[in-house]
Structure 1
Amino acid sequence: MAEELVFYSNPMSRGRIARWMLEEVGAPYRTEWLTFDGSMKSPEFLAINPMGKVPTIRHGQTVVTEAAAICAYLADAFPQAGLAPPPEKRGDYYRWLFFAAGPLEMAVSLKAFGIEVPRKRERSIGCGSYAAVMGALSLAVTRCPYIAGDNFTAADVYVGAHISWGLQFGSLEPRPEFKAYWDRLKERPASKRATAIDDEEMHRQLQAAKG
C-alpha cells in the first residue's frame, strides 16, 4: 500500500507553490486546510511543524516543511513524474531553486518593508542588493527555456511561482524576460488545476468570514 500523502495548507499562503508541485507529481494526496491564527497554532499541528506555518506535507512518517524543500522532496519521491534532472546534471536545478528560496525572497521582502541595505553592508547579507538579485534572476530565466535546461523541473515550479507573484503584486521589476518566462509556465495543466483548487477554497473562506 502506498504511503499516505497529506498536504497542510491555506489558499492564501505559499501553500499554492506546493499545491502546484503536487499537481505536477500526479500522486493522490489529501488536503488539510488550516487557519492562520487557529489550527496552524494548535498543539496537534505544532507537533508536525513547530513553526506553525504552511505549506507542510506528511508522506507516511516523513514530514517536510518549506516550499522549496517540498518541491525538491516530491521530485525525488516520485521520480516517474520526471521533475528533477539526473543527479549529475543538477547544478542549475539546485542553484536556482535555492537562489529563489534565499536571496530572491530576502531581497523582495526587504524591498517590500522599505528596508534598504547600505552599500557598504551588502557583503554582510545573503542577497547583496535588490539590483544584483534582479540581474541574476534575469540571467536564470534567459539562459535556457527552463531553469535547469531544456526540460521543466521542480525548480521551475518554485521560481515560476515567485515570478508570477512578483509580477502580479509589483514586487519584481516588470522585465520582459520575467513575463516571457512566466508565459511559458502559466498554461501548464497542473498549474491551472492547482489554482482552481486554491481559488475555490479561498472564495469559500472569504464567504464564510462574511457570515
Structure 2
Amino acid sequence: MITLHHCPQTRSMRVLWLLEELEIDFQVVPYPFDKSLRAPSFLSLSPAGRVPALEMYGETYFESIAIMQILCERFPERGLGREPRDLDRPDWLVWLNFAETITQHSVALTQQHVALYDDSMRSRTVMKLEAARLEKCYAAIENRLSTPVENRDHLLTSGFSAADIAVGQAVYLARFFAKTDEYPELSAWYDRITDRPAFRKALPPKEAGVYSRDFYPAWDE
C-alpha cells in the first residue's frame, strides 16, 4: 500500500497530483496545517515535521521533489519521468527542481500573510521583494515556453511530465501572491495543465487548506 501524508495547499499537493496522474492505488492521510505536524508520530515519518511523507512498500520517504523522482522511477510506464539516457533528462531534472525555487518565495509570503497574526510583525519590504521574485520566476517560465520549438505545449520538448506537475503546483501557490496576467505563454500552459482531471482531484475541498483568500497583495495598505 502507498500512503501519502498530506496537508492541502502545501508541497504535498504536487505529490498528490502525481499520484493521481500515475493512476495507482494509494490512500491519503490528511493533516491540518498546525502543530500536529510536530507530534512524535509524524516526526517518525518526516523528521523536520513537514509534509509530505510517503509510505510505500515498507519504506518511508520525505522531501516532495525526491518523492516525485522516486515515484516516476518506480512507475516508468506512465512516462512522467525521463530515463537517464533520455535527451530530455537534464531539462526534466532542472525544471522539476525549479519548482522549489518558486515555492520558497510563496512560503515566505505565506509566513508574512498567514502565519504572522500581528501586523507589526509583517514586513512591507519582505512582502514586496518576495512577490517581485515570484515574477522573476514567472519570466523564466515564460521564456522557456516562448522558445521556438515545435509543439511547445509543455516545459519539455517531449511533452507532459512530472516537471509540469511540480512547476504547475508551485505556480498554483504563487498565484495567491503574484498575478500571471502579463505572462501569456505561462497562463496558457497553466490553463492546459490545470484542466487535467488529476489536478482537479488534487485540489483541496472547500474550506480546507492554508489560504482563506484567492489573492494576497504584496502589502495590504
Q: State the TM-score, normalized to the length of structure 2.
A: 0.73
CA contact (8 A) 1:108 1:172 kept: no
Q: Which runs of 5+ in 1 are unaligned?
A: 119-128, 207-211
3-state SS of paired residue (1:199): coil
Indicate conservation of the 8 Å contact 2:134/2:178, yes or no. Answer: no
- Is 1:95–2:98 an aligned residue pair? no
Matched, 1:184 2:192: yes
What is the letter of the counterpart of residue 63 of structure 1? T
Q: Across the two proteins, how many residue pairs are aligned to each other?
A: 187
Q: Judging changes above 3 Å, is the alpha-carbon distance between structure 1 residues 172 and 97 closer, same or farther for their aligned structure 2 residues?
A: farther
Cα contact 1:141–1:178 (8 A) shared by 2: yes
Partner of 1:17: 14
Query: Are positions 1:202 and 2:199 aligned together?
Result: no
RMSD: 2.8
Q: Which residue of 1 aligns with 2:117?
A: none
Q: Secondary structure at the match of 2:82?
A: coil
- Which 10-residue stretch deviates more, 59-68 or 75-84? 59-68
Which residue, out of 138, 143, 156, partners 2:142? 138
- Partners of 1:22 and 1:28 lie apart in 2 by 8
The gaps in structure 2 that reach 5 residues or longer are: 113-124, 213-221
C-alpha distance in structure 2 between counterparts of 1:7 and 1:15, whole Å: 8
User: What residue in structure 2 maps to residue 105 of structure 1?
Assistant: 103
Matched-pair contact (CA < 8 Å) for 2:79–2:161: yes
Q: Aligned with 1:202: secondary structure?
A: coil
Are residues 81 and 63 of structure 1, via their aligned partners in 2, closer, same or farther at CA, if it must alter by over 3 Å? same
Deviation, 1:50, is 1.0
- The match for 2:61 is 64
Offset at residue 108 of structure 1 (A): 4.7
Say which SS state the counterpart of residue 205 (structure 2) adopts. helix
Query: Could you say which residue in structure 1 is the equivalent of 2:119?
Result: none
Kept after mapping to 1: 8 A contact 2:180/2:187 = no
Further displaced range: 70-79 or 109-118? 109-118
Q: Report the residue type matching 2:50 in the other structure.
A: K
Deviation at 1:68, TM superposition (A): 1.9
Q: Deviations over 1:153-210 (max 9, x none)?
A: 011101111223323x132543212211111111112112222xx316839xx9xxxx
Indicate the percent of aligned positions where both proteins have the same amino acid: 26
Residue pair 2:38, 2:49 contacting (<8 A) in 1 also? yes
Give 1 or 2: higher helix fraction: 1
CA displacement at 1:151 relative to structure 2: 1.4
Q: TM-score by structure 1 length?
A: 0.76
Residue identity matched to 1:171: A
